[in-house]
């Protein structure tokens, strides 16, 4: 089997952007299932999706009544998001470590599968806390990373793997504390029956039983300390 081509995050998503929304992704399906159950109504809230990609969470938040905006460092992904109903002009090209928006501009900042691309995401946590009073961060669970899971994708007949960094739960907590955040709740989610069909559509049904017992997604929610 040919070894994957290792790519940095922006280059990888530039390559993946055209077919990103069409590829069944069990990790994203699991995250969407468990986090959607915790969010509740977002009616009237201002929500920033930091690392918004093609607008998956922007669409979800908008469907719950939120006023949404997104930032992403990959131009091609921002353009794909702008093609979706209601998202035109709702996202901008920007780095999560330098969010070009004023303090307290949002009620919630959400960062999905983004901080793991940063070697040291402390600055990103501080930016997320600067622009919103509540912060939710999700990423590949460190136990999954230690089990050898990678962030990879396929374009044509080539396999690619992102440069990606493992951050332990303790490190994530330390980044949050450094940003002045207080923990609210945490989810450590593993694949279950609802994701089986996604594995099947992805042609990876054999991997379901091998991975279902391993925590796959880590989702944490914090609120900013009061002054």
Would you write out the chain's pLDDT as a tens digit for each of its 227 residues? 589 999 999 999 999 999 999 999 999 999 999 999 999 889 999 999 999 999 999 999 999 999 999 999 999 999 999 999 999 999 999 999 999 999 999 999 999 999 999 999 999 999 999 999 999 999 999 999 999 999 999 999 999 999 999 999 999 999 999 999 999 999 999 999 999 999 999 999 999 999 999 999 999 999 998 75
pTM given for the model? 0.96
Residue with tokens 């691309």: 117
Whole-angstrom distance, CA of residue 104 vs CA of residue 33: 28
Topology (CATH level 3) of domain 5-224: Rossmann fold (3.40.50)
What pLDDT, on a 0 to 100 scale, did the predictor assign at position 225? 84
Q: How do 67-72 and 46-50 pair as beta strands?
A: parallel
What pLDDT, on a 0 to 100 scale, did the predictor assign at position 130? 98
What pLDDT, on a 0 to 100 scale, did the predictor assign at position 226? 73
Q: Could you tell me the two tokens for 195?
A: 């994701």
What pLDDT, on a 0 to 100 scale, did the predictor assign at position 227? 57
Residue among 58, 60, 57, 94 nearest 74 (CA): 94
3-state SS of the chain? CCCCEEECHHHHHHHHHHHHHHCCCHHHHHHHHHHHHHHCCCCCCEEEEECCCCCHHHHHHHHCCCEEEEEECCHHHHHHHHCCCCCCCCEEECCCCCCCCCCCCEEEEEEECCHHHCCCCHHHHHHHHHHEEEEEEEEECHHHHHCCCCCEEEECCEEEEECCCCCCHHHHHHHHHHCCEEEEEEEEECCCHHHHHHHHHCCCHHHHHHHCCCCCEEEEEEEECCC
């Amino acid at each position: 089997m040919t070894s994957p081509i290792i790519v940095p995050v922006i280059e990888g998503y530039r390559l993946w952007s055209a077919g990103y929304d069409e590829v069944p992704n069990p990790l994203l399906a699991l995250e969407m299932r468990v986090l959607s159950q915790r969010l509740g109504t977002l009616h009237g809230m201002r929500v920033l999706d930091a690392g918004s990609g093609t607008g998956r969470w922007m669409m979800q938040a908008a469907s719950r009544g939120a006023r949404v905006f997104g930032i992403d460092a990959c131009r091609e992904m921002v353009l794909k998001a702008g093609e979706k109903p209601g998202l035109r002009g709702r996202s901008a090209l920007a780095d999560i470590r330098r969010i070009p928006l004023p303090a307290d501009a949002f009620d919630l900042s959400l960062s999905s599968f983004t901080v793991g691309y940063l070697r040291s995401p402390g600055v990103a946590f501080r930016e997320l806390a600067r622009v919103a009073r509540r912060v939710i961060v999700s990423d590949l669970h460190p136990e999954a990373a230690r089990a050898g899971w990678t962030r990879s994708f396929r374009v044509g007949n080539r396999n690619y793997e992102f440069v990606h960094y493992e951050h332990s739960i303790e490190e994530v907590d330390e980044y949050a504390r450094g940003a002045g955040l207080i923990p609210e709740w945490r989810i450590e989610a593993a694949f279950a029956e609802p994701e089986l069909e996604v594995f099947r559509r992805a042609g990876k049904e054999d991997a379901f039983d091998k991975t279902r017992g391993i925590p796959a997604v880590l989702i944490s929610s914090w609120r900013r300390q009061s002054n």
